[in-house]
Chain A
Amino acid sequence: MSAGLQTSGPGVDAFRTAFRQPSEEPLWLSQFRLSQTEQFSHSGLPTTKDEGWKYTSLRPLARAKYQIVEACEGGSVSPVLKGAAQAVFVNGYFRAEASDISGLEQFLGPFNGFLKEPWLENLVTDTSFKYQTMYSLNAASFTDGFALKLGADQQLPRPLELVFLSVPGDVPGMWHPRAAIDLGANASATIIERHLSVGEGAYLANHAADIRVGENARLVHVKIQDEGSDGRHLSMTRVKVGKKSLYDGFTLTLGGSLSRSETEACVEGVGAEVRLNGAYSITGKQHADHTSRINHLAQGTKSRQVYAGAIDGNGRGVFQGHIVVDQAAQQTDGYQMNRALLLSDTAEVDSKPTLEIYADDVKCSHGATAGDIDEDHLFYLRARGIPAPAARSLVVRGFLADPIENISDDDARAAVLDVLDAHLGLERL
């Protein structure tokens, strides 16, 4: 904890023990941590009075008394993507012995090992993004993570699967894994993040990632979150995309008691495209929040966001998508859509697709729908002899498959569908 902090926002005390002391880290990082620590200490945990957190309360976090844990052992996980390299993290710490990253010199981990890389400072300390409180908490507290650096014209030889395994212990633990990904001009890569947990118990995983996609480069970034029912999962991804590049992001949310996947993208290269798609299937008391902010800053940029969710039990789905079109970003083409299926009488969905537009020559649209399963669809399947529960699962699958179809990497798309089918108890069709 740094000295001289005058103010203290709500819930800050619960996290003080997590703040890292400047140690053997490079000066820029110590300074970065200090400024982020101060910012977090000042603002504290967001409340539902903060517009960006209107539908998601973090109040339980302040009461949970999470503690920072030491590195621990952890088992291996079979990959969802054949032939993929696999990097395994247990409770936020990189486990080299459980990973298979042979021949993948672009992968740099653990985080501490390469903090002196000059490009990293530039990427991490980028100030073009909006202040985000949980990102600051991660910056103040992270102990490990990874970096991925692709030089110009490089292609990742195999897709990379990142497995974030949470192994809760007797006391509630917290980890703040950090990622930095930098793709040079014309580079391309496919990354699948999997978030899993082993055993029962409460924990908080608070991820942060800084990503830069260079000119004409292409990054497919798929995230599958299937954590345990006591897990709280928060993530903040900040993406910057260059001229004519593509960032293709996808999130599948199935697990966690409380989850929020947030992405902010600065589309600053002419002709660049950002896709943020997602599907979620939740039940019980699960709360799944998908929040995005896309800043169109250059001419001829494009963004696509399609989310579909199936909410059962007492689940609550939240979608907040914000598109900002700067005055300079003429010929912007922006689209966002959130469709939700409410499968029970106590399910709830809250959508807030917003547009903030300062350029006139634009084409932006958004939509949102909420409702029950279409009885006609069920009837069609039942008439063909399919039992009711399977018919329901099939309709849900069809509904959720819509955004999944947008994933531009064939193998990644197939992997996501496999996971979804397993979750819904369906064989691959």
Chain B
Amino acid sequence: MSATAETIADVEKLGDRYKYGFVTEIESETAPKGLSEDVIRFISAKKEEPDWLLEWRLQAYAKWQKMTEPNWAKLGYPPIDYQDSYYYSAPKQKDAPKSLDEVDPELLETYAKLGIPLKEQEMLAGVRNVAVDAVFDSVSVATTFKAKLAEAGVIFCSISEAVREYPDLVRKYLGSVVPQDDNFFAALNCAVYTDGSFVYVPKGVKCPMELSTYFRINAENTGQFERTLIIADEGSYVSYLEGCTAPMRDENQLHAAVVELVAHKDAEIKYSTVQNWYPGDENGKGGIYNFVTKRALCQGDRSKVMWTQVETGSAITWKYPSCVLQGDDSQGEFYSVAIANNMQQADTGTKMIHMGKRTRSRIISKGISAGRAQNSYRGLVKMLPSADKGRNFTQCDSLLIGDKCGAHTFPYIESQNRSARVEHEATTSKISEDQLFYCRQRGIGEEEAVALVVNGFCREVLQQLPMEFAVEAQKLVGISLEGSVG
């Protein structure tokens, strides 16, 4: 595998517009191109998986073959050839690393460029406790802070390791929130997922630090199919952050992830995402196709799940983090900022399914469209007959920068319970000339002014992020909108 001259040239041409657009030269091991039962067997064998998991994958593959790709989203892209992609790519290494020191230095450098210096973080552990499980292409490379977490009884490891070490837990929960045939992309993920993170927080434990995973797609023509499973047992708490980047490449890369969260009685899960996959260039060449299924089951009474997402990357985003509010008094929250610039297309939102009594949900969505991008909010709020005194509040705001982009809102509000109250409101407007003028008058450059106004527009969501990431997300908002004015 090597970086093409064209890519390098592109990088130089674009300067620091997409500062994560570098390719790391690491020898990697790939499965044959295309998708077949054999490839799935190959992946499963490589990962030394038990028979039940291989069977489960093959079952999903059989279901996937009978399914058709959904076309209801407001997205336009050429048909994806699922046989023209590699489904397994792992950084080549002689032995599994025992500590960070054994990890390929080039790899560590990549992460340093990404702004997550693992080593430094370990050193600064006393100052800032963030455990990082870095997923490079498909294999979880290193997990930090394991010892400290183990002390608290928290399991935080790659899902492959979890399959080996905690098979009963994985078997119990895998596919329990997102069934194999939930949708086309989820089925594909079940068949070919290569790695991802696994978190189990035992009863009554408040996870002592923020958990974090950094996903990065490196190899050419590879799809990344990660799988995340987080279980918060009774009365526990965990905050989890994932960040995503990918190098700049001319061809489109496929990313189809599945994230399952289970919150038991009185448990709380906070899941934050900063998604900054390569969005393609100004003319829509290249970029990640991001088809993600994320769902949380608030199974126990008084459980709570909070999704926060900052979506600035990807050529195509198809993502609806959802909450199934099964336990009485359970709560779901969704805070989202989605920025689409140039030729990006985003169709994202949430689903809040109220089943239990007095379940509450809150949706705050901020969409920003610039360039020639199309940005859609799509959400469902459903009050089932059992959701006595359920409560939902939804606020969706869209901001348009320039007259060639589009901002769309598609909410579905279904109520089958008289005592439930649902409120939805949405607005769409242009970026305020007055606010821009005010900034300009004070000597703030035009792009900076836009970034400032947009950050103000997103504040309600950004402040839900853990602090360090909120700062980074604010910068990202500015970077994503570069070139959108003037």
Contact = CB atoms under 8 A, between A and B. Distances in A.
Contacts of B403: 327, 330, 359-361
A366 B406 contact: no
A305 to B, nearest CB: 14
A51 B72 contact: yes
A363 B429 contact: yes
A110 B408 CA distance: 44
Contact of B429 (A348, A362, A370): A362
Interface stretch (A92-100, A203-211, A338-346): A338-346
A368 interface: yes
Given A351-B413, A357-B408, A366-B409, A345 B385 contact: yes
Given A356-B406, A366-B409, A348 B425 contact: no
Interface in A337-393: 340, 342-372
A352 B406 contact: no
A354 B409 CA distance: 5
B400 A354 contact: no
Interface residues of B, number: 37
Interface residues of A, number: 35
B282 interface: no
Contacts of A363: 427-429
A367 B425 contact: yes
B92 interface: no
Contacts of A372: 418-419, 421
A349 B383 CA distance: 10
Contacts of B408: 354-357
Contact of B413 (A327, A356, A357, A370): A370
Contacts of B400: 357, 359-360, 362
A315 to B, nearest CB: 11
A372 B420 CA distance: 7
Contacts of B407: 355, 357
B481 to A, nearest CB: 14
B464 to A, nearest CB: 23
A352 B413 contact: yes
Given A354-B408, A356-B408, A366-B409, A342 B426 contact: no
A402 B410 CA distance: 25
A350 B412 contact: yes
Contacts of A349: 413-415
Contacts of B405: 358, 360
Contacts of B424: 351, 353, 366-369
B421 A368 contact: no
Contact of A367 (B401, B410, B426): B426
B416 interface: yes
Contacts of A330: 403
A51 B412 CA distance: 11
B398 interface: yes
B402 interface: yes
B353 to A, nearest CB: 14
A99 B410 CA distance: 45
A364 B411 contact: no
18 contacts: A327-B404, A343-B418, A345-B385, A348-B416, A349-B414, A350-B415, A352-B412, A353-B411, A353-B424, A355-B409, A356-B74, A357-B406, A360-B403, A363-B427, A368-B411, A369-B424, A370-B422, A372-B418
Given A352-B411, A372-B418, 17 more contacts: A347-B416, A351-B412, A351-B414, A354-B409, A356-B74, A356-B408, A357-B400, A357-B406, A358-B405, A358-B406, A360-B403, A360-B430, A364-B427, A365-B425, A367-B426, A368-B411, A371-B418
Interface of B: 72, 74, 383, 385, 398, 400-431
